[in-house]
Amino acid sequence: MKLEIDERQLSLEIEALAAISDVEPPAVTRIVFTPTDLKARDWMISRCKEAGLAVRQDAIGNIFARWNGTEPTAPAVGTGSHIDAIPNAGKYDGVVGVLGGLEAIRALQRSGFRPKNSIELLVFATEEPTRFGIGCLGSRLLSGTLSAEAAAKLKDRDGESVDEVRRKAGFNGILQHVKLPKGYYKGFVELHIEQGPLLERAQISLGIVTSIAAPASLRISIEGAGGHAGGVLMPDRKDALCAAAELILAVENAARSSGTVDTVATVGVCDVFPGAVNSIPSRVGMTLDIRDTDLARRDGAMQTIERASRDIAAKRQVSIQSELLNADAPADCAPEVRAALAESCRQHGFSFLEMVSRAYHDSLFISRIAPTGMLFIPCRNGYSHRPDEYAAPDDIARGALVLAESLAKLSGSSQ
Ligand code: GLV
Ligand code: MN
Ligand code: MN
C-alpha cells in the first residue's frame, strides 16, 4: 500500500476553515452553535460528502462521516477531533485532527485500500468549555460519562440551556440516544497539535501519547459589599475583587507548591460587578481550571484551594461559593493503538517521543469506551489557544500519514 498525503490540499483546507471565524485572521473564534460554527460544520460536512463518506449528526451535534468497510456491521475504527475554537484561538487546535483525519481517509481511498472494519471520522461537538463551562460535552455524552439529563440543563452565560441552544441550532434529536452502544468502536485515534514545546525543543517528529492528564474545573462566586470608592473607608470594606485577588494567588501557590511541575492551575475568567472605576466591586465570578497527571495530587491541590478560600472568606468577611463543573480521572492510551502508531513511525524512520497529554481531549472520554490513542505533532514554541499557534504543513502531513497507516492497521484490509 503506497500512501500519499496531499499536503497542499490539507493546508488549503486548514486555511479555508480558519476563514470561517468571528474575528480577523490569524485569530480564530468559533463558539459552538453560533452562526459561524454552524457554517463551519456545513463546510466540513460538504468536504466529507465529497470524499464519498456517509454523514450523520446526533442530537448534540457530533458529526460522524463513515467510510463503510467490507464488514459494515463490525465495530468501526474511529478518528477525529473538534472544530470549535475558544475566543482568539489559532487555526490548528482540533482542526488538524479533523482535516488530517479526512485527508488520511482520502489517502487510503486513493491507494486502493479497502477497509474491513468501517473507518469513521468523528467531529466532536463542543469540545471547548467556552459556552457551557464544561469541555468535551459531545464525547462525555457519547461515552455516557455525563447523563443526557445533566447535559441538557447546563447553561451558557446568557442563561440559555444546552437543550434550548442545540434545538435553536437545529439539533432536535433525543439526547439520551447520543450515547454510543457498547463496542461501537474497535479503536480510536486522535491526531492533535502538542500544545506544548517538548517535541519542537527535542526536534522530534511525533508524539505518541501514553496518558491524558486529569482535568477539573469550578465556577467560583464571591460576594462582598459594594459602595462609593471615595466614601467607604478601608477598614469598612468587603471588596470582592480583593478577596478574588488573594484567592487567585492561593490557586497559583497550590499548583506551584505541589512538589511537581505536573500540577497546573489557572483562573481564566474574572468578571467584576459592577465594573465601574469609582465603585467598590461587590461581586466577582471566576473560574478555576486545575489539572494533574496524578488524580490524588490534583484532588489534594483542590482541597488546599478550598481551605484557602474558607480562610479568605472569614478574614475578609465575604462569601465564597464554588460549584464543581467537572473533576475527571486521567486516561491511559491503549497499548494496541500506541503500538500501531509506533510501528508506522519506525517504518518511516520518523522519530517519536512517548509523552503525556497535559491538555484534555475528547479522547479522554472515548478511552472509557474503546481502545484509544493520540498522536501529537509539534507546534511552534508550543503555542496554542492563541492566534500565533502554528504547525508546519510537512509536520501535519507526517502526522496524517502515520494516522492513515494506523487506521488501516486497526481496520484490516479486505484484500
Ligand atoms: C482543551 O482545549 C484543553 O483546555 O485542554
Ligand atoms: Mn483547545
Ligand atoms: Mn483541542
Q: Note whether 208 and 352 are within 8 A (CB).
A: yes
The 3-state DSSP class for residue 221 equals: strand
- Using the mean position of ligand 2's atoms as its centre, give its distance from the Cα of residue 129 in Å: 9
Give phi and psi for 335, each to the nearest 5: -55, -40
* Rounded Cα gap, residues 410 and 415, in angstroms: 15
Q: If you take atom 5 of ligand 1, which residue's CA is the nearest one?
A: 359
* Rounded Cα gap, residues 256 and 214, in angstroms: 17
- Tens place of pLDDT for every residue, the chain, 415 residues? 889 999 999 999 999 999 999 999 999 999 999 999 999 999 999 999 999 999 999 999 999 999 999 999 999 999 999 999 999 999 999 999 999 999 999 999 999 999 999 999 999 999 999 999 999 999 999 999 999 999 999 999 999 999 999 999 999 999 999 999 999 999 999 999 999 999 999 999 999 999 999 999 999 999 999 999 999 999 999 999 999 999 999 999 999 999 999 999 999 999 999 999 999 999 999 999 999 999 999 999 999 999 999 999 999 999 999 999 999 999 999 999 999 999 999 999 999 999 999 999 999 999 999 999 999 999 999 999 999 999 999 999 999 999 999 999 999 986 5
Q: How does strand 206-212 pair with strand 352-357? A: parallel
* Rounded Cα gap, residues 51 and 105, in angstroms: 8
Q: How does strand 206-212 pair with strand 372-377? A: antiparallel
- Using the mean position of ligand 2's atoms as its centre, give its distance from the Cα of residue 86 in Å: 7
Q: If you take atom 2 of ligand 1, which residue's CA is the nearest one?
A: 128
* Rounded Cα gap, residues 215 and 391, in angstroms: 25
For helices 335-348 and 393-411, what crossing angle results, to 10°?
120
- Long-range contacts of range 194-198, CB-CB < 8 Å, 24 or more positions apart? 194/355, 194/376, 194/377, 194/378, 194/379, 194/382, 195/93, 195/358, 195/359, 195/379, 195/382, 195/384, 195/385, 196/358, 196/359, 196/382, 196/384, 197/381, 197/382, 198/353, 198/355, 198/382
- Using the mean position of ligand 2's atoms as its centre, give its distance from the Cα of residue 82 in Å: 9
> For residue 415, what pLDDT is reported?
58
Give phi and psi for 89, each to the nearest 5: -95, -170
C-beta of 128 in contact with ligand 1 (< 6 A) = yes
Q: Note whether 151 and 175 are within 8 A (CB).
A: yes
For residue 191, the ligand closest to its alpha carbon is 3
> Which residue(s) pair with 288 in the sheet?
218
* Rounded Cα gap, residues 75 and 328, in angstroms: 26
Give phi and psi for 120, each to the nearest 5: -125, 130
For residue 75, whether the previous peptide bond is cis, meaning omega lies within 30 degrees of 0, is no
For residue 386, the ligand closest to its alpha carbon is 2
C-beta of 360 in contact with ligand 1 (< 6 A) = yes
What is the position in ligand 1's atom list of the atom closest to the CA of 360?
5
- Using the mean position of ligand 1's atoms as its centre, give its distance from the Cα of residue 360 in Å: 5
By CB atoms closer than 10 A (0-12, 13-18, 19+), residue 288 is buried
* Rounded Cα gap, residues 12 and 409, in angstroms: 28
* Rounded Cα gap, residues 188 and 214, in angstroms: 19
- Using the mean position of ligand 2's atoms as its centre, give its distance from the Cα of residue 195 in Å: 9
Residue of 195, 212, 269, 325 with the most ligand 1 atoms within 8 Å of its CB, for mutation? 195
C-beta of 40 in contact with ligand 1 (< 6 A) = no
Q: Note whether 280 and 229 are within 8 A (CB).
A: yes
| Residue given cell 479568605 in the structure block | 312
Q: Where are the alpha helices (DSSP H) in 173-239?
A: 198-202
- Using the mean position of ligand 3's atoms as its centre, give its distance from the Cα of residue 310 in Å: 34
- Using the mean position of ligand 2's atoms as its centre, give its distance from the Cα of residue 29 in Å: 11
Q: How far, rounded to the nearest angstrom, does the alpha carbon of residue 214 sit from its chain's CA centroid?
A: 13
| Burial track 190-225 (b if 16+ CB lie within 10 A, e otherwise) | bbbbbbbebbbeeebbbbbbbbbbbbbbbbbebbbb
* Rounded Cα gap, residues 241 and 276, in angstroms: 12
Residue of 385, 386, 389 with the most ligand 1 atoms within 8 Å of its CB, for mutation? 385
- Residue 409 half-sphere exposure, CB side, CA atoms within 13 Å? 18
Q: Note whether 25 and 9 are within 8 A (CB).
A: no
